[in-house]
Amino acid sequence: MILISSFELAVLERGIEKGNRKKAQEDVLDVLETRFGEVSELVREQVQSLTDAIELKRLHRRAILVTDIHSFSAELVVPVN
């Protein structure tokens, strides 16, 4: 039996979370590219800056349903620091 410390577990969980977030971002961009062709660098950067899993899931669904890339862009809400 392999035992791991709480620190190692936290690092592992963060890695999994980061991987899931990156996959969700890529899924949104993949749908946009499939439906509308090339995605602007601005939209790409905005999607890649999102970290909230619920927001990424919402945007994935919107990418499937919107009629054009401009409608999708209007729904991107990226907080300004």
Nearest 10 degrees: Cα torsion 16, 27, 77, 12: 0
Say how many C-beta atoms besides its own lie within 10 A of residue 67's C-beta: 9
pLDDT along the chain (81 residues), means of 10: 77 82 95 96 94 92 94 75 45
- Copy the structure tokens of residue 32: 């946009």
Domain boundaries, the chain: 15-75
pLDDT on residue 77: 67
- Copy the structure tokens of residue 13: 């969980």
pLDDT on residue 81: 45
* pLDDT, tens digit, 9 for 90 and up, residues 28-39: 999 999 999 999
- Copy the structure tokens of residue 39: 């995605």
